[in-house]
Amino acid sequence: MLRLITGRPGPSGFGSASTAEQVTHAIDGSNLTAIVTGGASGIGMETARVLAKRNVHVIIAARNMEAANEAKQRIHKDNKAARVDVEKLDLSSIRSVKAFTDNFKALNLPLNILINNAGIMFCPFQLSEDGVEMQFATNHLGHFYLTNLLLDKMKETAKATGIQGRIVNLSSIAHICPYKEGIRFHKINDKSSYQEKLAYAQSKLANILHANELSRQLQEGGANITVNSVHPGLIMTPLMRHSALLMRTLRAFTCFLWKNVPQGAATTCYVALHPSLKGVTGKYYFDCNEHKPSKLARDEALAENLWDFSNNLVNAARKT
């Protein structure tokens, strides 16, 4: 807590006050290609901007193409040499995820880094077009399917270039307070007991479990790809549009805990690019330092069950 308040660096040399530019200083990513979901606004856009500043070829994957193109223009305004492209992606739609990956593969680009950043927060109960509770569908299931579809491309790239691939899942400290059972496999779409904050926490717990199980599988298979999850910190971004009044009130009493957007993107950029994390996988980071997530997030059996459950949901959606 003291480090969080003061910004004092941790073992990595960085802390809560570090910005994305600072943690990637002097890193050259000119031989890298990255996909950033939700890169049209907030910390996703800052992540895309800083990666592009470090010469990474960035693909902004976003639902709102107008916002994505505006983000691209803003990045180019400050960095005319930036390599930035945009592609449409609606993570709440299995059909859209498949279309995005088909379009990306048609570009015949390598893929070194996948940043699963996009998300929604505290929204009222609704179902996705595939019939899955919207926060779970968008924050977890869409990224789960996206990652699976891109894994072969990442493996091919890592093998051809010798450069280790990196997958980064954006979770949240909120993962510590989901529904009592962690993931409500049998009540994922239960409107009567739905609580938007617990459902959000459930989806963020799923992000860590997904990263951990995928990390285990890739290690077992000998793939040269790491998978880690991060908590970006408390940042006022468009993600909080469903609870803006609550968040502003909370911020008034906890102002010393909040970050600005450049600080909020720091941990993502650190885990995605910093050379000190070569070979590090299956870990959870915030403030650019490794931390231990909740007991549920470390439950290997729960992670395996979530993997099977997610596969079943995807397979069911693909048949409709």
3-state SS class at 179: strand
Report whether 303 contacts 209 (CB < 8 A): yes
Residue of 145, 194, 200, 270 marked catalytic:
194
- Residue 320: CB atoms within 10 Å: 9
pLDDT at 253: 41
Question: At residue 258, does pLDDT exceed 80?
Answer: no
For residue 252, is pLDDT > 50? no
pLDDT of residue 8: 82
Render pLDDT for 60-118 as a digit per residue (tens, 0 to 9).
999 999 999 999 999 999 999 999 999 999 999 999 999 999 999 999 999 999 999 99
Percent of the chain residues topping a pLDDT of 70: 91
As a whole number of angstroms, the distance between CA 27 and CA 110 comes to: 19
Question: Quick one: pLDDT at residue 89?
Answer: 98
The three-class DSSP label of residue 319 is helix
Q: What number of other Cβ atoms are within 10 A of residue 275's Cβ?
A: 6
Listed range (5-9, 201-205, 222-226) with the worst mean pLDDT: 5-9
Q: Is 285 a catalytic residue?
A: no
* pLDDT tens by residue, 25-60: 999 999 999 999 999 999 999 999 999 999 999 999
pLDDT of residue 255: 45
Whether 257 has a pLDDT exceeding 70, the answer reads no
- pLDDT of 6 reads 52
Q: Which two tokens stand for residue 24?
A: 């990637």
Full DSSP string of 127-159: B-TTSSBHHHIIIIIHHHHHHHHHHHHHHHHHH
Residue 2 has pLDDT above 70, yes or no: no
Structure tokens at 316: 């069911």
Quick one: pLDDT at residue 234? Answer: 83
Average pLDDT, the chain: 93
For the question of whether the overall pTM of this predicted structure is more than 0.85, the answer is: yes
Q: 2 or 197: whose pLDDT is higher?
A: 197
Tell me what pLDDT residue 320 has: 81
